[in-house]
Structure 1
């Protein structure tokens, strides 16, 4: 993976005479991921919660997320012993997988510290892509410009690393969104279709809600048993779910995942994303055919819905 951590050009800045400084910052990253994958890593809240923290000492908690033009995302950056930093991101334009435009307002201790217009442009060919982010910043406190440059730059370094271990699968299913959601989020039907061709599921516990879990075994055609544990963190009915994938009950986590459901007027676009815990785990997954097996799983979902 090639990363260009430098800011392209020095920021230009001006002062309005009332203590507000204006600056334009430009960040460029070359990323070892296709443009479509980078788009999902840039925009999906499950991914943004992973890469947005500029350092391990910072925890990013996304408390509201609506990734649509006109929607907004509210997140809290938490550092032990310091006031939370609140970030409001409002999506103004989304043109997948090429461009997004959003506003961003940063506040802490009930004081607005900055406002910005953020434009992200993505271009790519094959397995690589380039991200150019332009930030038009209005800084209301003296330290925010340098802090913004450093924090945003560190976050984009994290994004490059995260996108390189992200797998995204998409399928348009010829069924209304309520039917697709119902097949996925019903404890009776989910185990009937989940898994690649020839696999079956043996459920131990299942509770498909935020804070719930599904503990189950996937059984291969040759009888090999693969223990699994899904922990559900986010459930937005008929829109998206977010969950963790563990190797067996309370075992090591191997991926953060999400599924999004988009209404296409009688059909439904399903996007299944997985951010593997390490780049090595992602390479191992690709090596044993995880992409094809994932597509088989979505194919089973479509056939299951069509048979009902």
Structure 2
């Protein structure tokens, strides 16, 4: 949104607007949907430009849940955005309300409808914003800010790796195996790999510094930084190349009750398209599925 829009009230001629945005991504439909709805992914693409920092105060992407964020630009008032989820039809449609305010004054209220289509290769998103503006120039601000955010979304979807597995065990059991510092290193990693932990603290603000050791003895240093731990629902963390090394991905794991079982979703947004392609090239998708299979076998040994 434009930061100066709070200064002047909207006139009758620019109080209401219907805006339409279309974006396509060279990414599977389920990946685009996850990038649109997963809080960890939304935190990556939400800022319309590098000059804007978006801080998330709440994030609950369920019907009836809400997301509250602050857009920050140096020297200007914070813009508060409250998003409430009204409908979520996976890979088909989402509907949410959005209230934008600054310094306690409401700037606009909008109904946002997102329609999805596509296949396993390409996907398309059409977003319709029905805007009721209190402040002047909010429609122009939406066109610029929302449009830039959706450009980011398409780029993020194209470098996102998504792995899913339904595990026949209660969510509390699956969650417990993931966040227990004694058990996580026992199953983490592809077939034939083991973990050697330096230190581990699986809490928000915690970290896991460890080496992955391959079947041939090759050592791969890793550092996970945890910034969100919502019990039995999701983890959000960053992946670094070795202790305090460069970040190569933002990741999340979510846990959903699924007909008496647990659906685990592991998402990774690689920092660059090149890193994403390199990861795919060395078989990261297959290795990731092996890791989730090891989790299942750890919980339910055969």
122, 125, 129: which one pairs with 2:119? Answer: 125
> Of residues 232, 249, 262 in structure 2, which corresponds to 1:255?
249
How far did 1:109 drift? Answer: 1.1
Which of residues 237, 257, 268 in structure 2 aligns to 1:243? 237
Structure number with higher relative contact order (C-alpha < 8 Å, ≥ 6 residues apart): 2
Asked whether the equivalents of residues 203 and 215 of structure 1 are also in contact (C-alpha less than 8 Å), the reply is yes
Once the two structures are TM-superposed, the CA of residue 20 in structure 1 deviates from its matched residue by 6.8
Looking at structure 1, the residues matched to 69 and 225 of structure 2 have their Cα atoms a distance apart, in angstroms, of 21
Q: Give the gaps of 5 or more residues in structure 2.
A: 1-9
1:159-178 correspondence to structure 2 within 5 Å: 159-178=153-172
Q: Does the 8 A contact of 1:24 with 1:134 survive in 2? A: yes
**Superposed displacement of residue 145, structure 1:** 1.1
199, 206, 216: which one aligns with 2:210: 216
- Partner Cα distance (1:286, 1:20) in 2: 48
- Do the aligned residues in 2 keep the contact of 1:20 with 1:140 (CA within 8 Å)? no
- Residue of 106, 127, 151 corresponding to 1:157: 151
In the alignment, which residue of structure 2 is the partner of 1:6? none
What root-mean-square deviation, in Å, do the aligned CA atoms of Structure 1 and Structure 2 show?
A: 1.5
In the TM superposition, residue 266 of structure 1 has moved relative to its aligned partner by 2.5
Partners in 2 of 1:285 and 1:63 — Cα distance?
32
Give distance in 2, aligned partners of 1:17 and 1:140.
8
> Does the CA contact (< 8 Å) of 2:233 and 2:255 recur in 1?
yes
Q: Which moved more, 1:186-195 or 1:135-144?
A: 135-144
**Structure 1 unaligned spans of 5+:** 1-15
- Contact kept? 1:19, 1:141, Cα under 8 Å: no
Number of residue pairs matched by the alignment: 294
Displacement of 1:126: 2.6
- Quick one: distance in 1 between partners of 2:43 and 2:106? 22
CA pair 17-226 structure 1, distance change in 2 beyond 3 A: closer
Asked whether the equivalents of residues 11 and 136 of structure 2 are also in contact (C-alpha less than 8 Å), the reply is no
- Alpha-carbon separation, structure 1, partners of 2:103 and 2:137: 15
The CA distance in 2 between the partners of 1:17 and 1:201, in whole Å, is 63
Q: Which residue of 2 aligns with 1:26?
A: 20
Equivalences for residues 7-46 of structure 1 within 5 A: 21-46=15-40
TM-score (norm 2): 0.95
The answer to whether the Cα contact below 8 Å between 1:20 and 1:141 also exists between their aligned partners in 2 is no
Q: Residue 201 of structure 1 corresponds to which residue in structure 2?
A: 195
Question: Within 5 A, what are the aligned runs for 1:88-99?
Answer: 88-99=82-93
Q: 1:61 aligns with which of 33, 55, 62?
A: 55
**82, 86, 106: which one pairs with 1:112?**
106
Shift of 1:18: 6.0
Deviation at 1:263, TM superposition (A): 1.1
Kept in 2, the 8 Å contact 1:69–1:92? The answer is yes
